[in-house]
Amino acid sequence: MSFSESVDENHHMDVVVVGSGISGSAAAMTAARRGARVVLLEKQGSFGGSAALSAGMFWTAPTEEAYNARIPLGKAELGARLVGDYQEALSELRASGARVATEPKLNIMTFGIGYSTDIHAILDWCRQEVRRAGGETLTGITVTELTHDGGSVTGVTARDANGRVVRYSAPAVVLTTGGFQGARDELTRHMGPNADRLLLRSNPGSVGDGLRLARSAGTGGTTAMSTFYGHLLPFPVSRFETADYLPYSQYYSGSTVMVNVRGERFADETKGDELLNQDVTFQPEARGILIFDNHVRTTEVIQEPFPGLGTIDRLATAIEAGGTYTEAETLDGLVQKIAAWGVDQDKLTATLEQYATVAGQGGGTALGVPVSPAARPPQTGPFYALMVQPSITFTFGGVRTNSSGEALDHDGLPIPGLYAAGADIGGLSNYGYAGGLAPGYITGRWAGRAAAERATLGTRRTPELIYAGEPATDKEAS
């Protein structure tokens, strides 16, 4: 929309937060607690974004060294502050009264530490704190552009559910729209044609709004634009709705032998499901086959990967969902059945034989692909195979920021008045995954604090509404 277009409402605030997931909720609460008059804008009909669909595990790397080892291409400045702020953020959540487990879960995604939480209670608490401080939390408001005064971001223009144009003037805007996983054009640009095969395992509203808005203000790009978080799912599936996101995920894939549709291994399986999920995206047809034995079938397949996910039979769930599956009493018999799917039988046989040999020798390389010392080849029948496909929950690239949450231009300089957090920022995770809820909450605190400081240091306007305001409650735009 152009600035000459008629504006139906004007509001003056201190901080505008765009998006109500965990990062936006934390940013809005943090700014409000520091004296800023905040409005939290959510374009969908309900609050919470993808965080509201999660299992509630609040986790990240246990140390800076662990972060650097798992995410060597990550932005070290962001990683160091993330790890350094984790305990303080955890204490803040405990003080909220929301459920936070007392005992940690170790080795999350093979390396992390975290605690199970009631994520819905945390999201509600954040909004309550915003309203308690005199701010507003609104649904049904779609931000269409940033406003500028020539040098600084000065607010946003938005449309409500009835198409009315609303302008929020504020010295600070925080972008927390959840990434660009729903933007097919962006995915193909950064990940290639197989991005079209990614199943969206996310709320439908994360379509790159934050990235587009930030680009309009002159932000520079980041690393990690072709990397993302998601989990392997059965292929095919007869349906895929929000209730299926967690039970369909095949978290145990790190204990299998994984091959592509040519019968070739392509990655060290023990890296973990979220990394295998990315790897298979770039394989032929973006499909893989998990091969495992009865030991894995009766242990990891039915175990709870971490608190909050529940104990279910993930293979049975995958079969019920429509996934291509087979089993046999012998490994040779399984190979013959997989060959009926169009996989080269001789190549698959050689792949499994070489894998077993190298694994038995304590690890190394089999046919050019690493085999971990921790690898365990299929040994005890019956044997199982499940065809899988990748999914995307959120992207790792995005808006370039510093560790204060300030959006940076192409030269690495702060863009006055613009901040970003959560999945809208890029480089904190990069192929390796530093967590979702904890990094979102912690980076939201960074951005909220910095935005409040800007709003209260000389650029703050008198907190008033030009239009008469309603009571400070969760609201849907009318």
Chain segment 226-281, per-residue pLDDT in tens: 999 999 999 999 999 999 999 999 999 999 999 999 999 999 999 999 999 999 99
CATH of the domain at 160: 3.50.50.60
Segments forming the whole domain that contains residue 344:
231-389
* Mean pLDDT value of segment 326-348: 98
What average pLDDT does range 35-58 have in this prediction? 95
How far is residue 92 from each of residues 96, 101, 153, 336, measured CA to CA in Å? 6, 14, 30, 56
Establish if 161 belongs to a structural domain: yes
Domain shared by 247 and 333, yes or no: yes
Q: Which of 336, 355, 389 is the last residue of a domain?
A: 389
Q: What average pLDDT does range 178-190 have in this prediction?
A: 96
Domain membership flag for residue 3: no
Q: Tell me the whole-structure pTM to 2 decimals.
A: 0.92
Residue 81 amino acid letter: R
Q: Please say which residue of 389, 414, 434 terminates a domain.
A: 389
83 plus 52 within the same structural domain:
yes
pLDDT tier for residue 304 given thresholds of 50, 70 and 90 = confident
Same domain, 235 and 310: yes
Are both 26 and 80 inside the same structural domain?
Answer: yes
Residue 175 within a domain: yes
pLDDT of residue 339 exceeding 90, the answer is yes
268 & 363 share domain: yes
3-state DSSP of the chain:
CCCCCCCCEEEECCEEEECCCHHHHHHHHHHHHCCCCEEEEECCCCCCHHHHHCCCEEEECCCHHHHHHHCCCCCHHHHHHHHHHHHHHHHHHHHHCCCECCCCEEEECCCEEEEEECHHHHHHHHHHHHHHCCCEEEECCEEEEEEECCCCEEEEEEECCCCCEEEEECCEEEECCCCCCCCHHHHHHHHCHHHHHCEECCCCCCCCHHHHHHHHCCECCCCCCCCEECCCEECCCCCCCHHHCCCCCCHHHHHCEEEECCCCECCCHHHCHHHHHHHHHCCHHHCEEEEEEHHHHHCHHHCCCCCCCCCCCHHHHHHHHCCCEEEECCHHHHHHHHHCCCCCHHHHHHHHHHHHHHHHCCCEEECCEEECCCCCCCCCCCEEEEEEECEECEECCCECECCCCEEEECCCCEEEEEEECHHHECCCCECECCCCHHHHHHHHHHHHHHHHHHHHCCCCCCCCECCCCCCCCEEECC
194 and 54 in a single domain? The answer is yes
Give the model's confidence band at 471: pLDDT under 50 very low, under 70 low, under 90 confident, else very high. very low
Measure the N-to-C terminal CA separation of the chain; round to a whole number of Å.
21
My answer on whether 172 and 80 are in the same domain is yes
385 and 399 part of one domain: no
Give yes or no: residues 138 and 237 share one domain: no
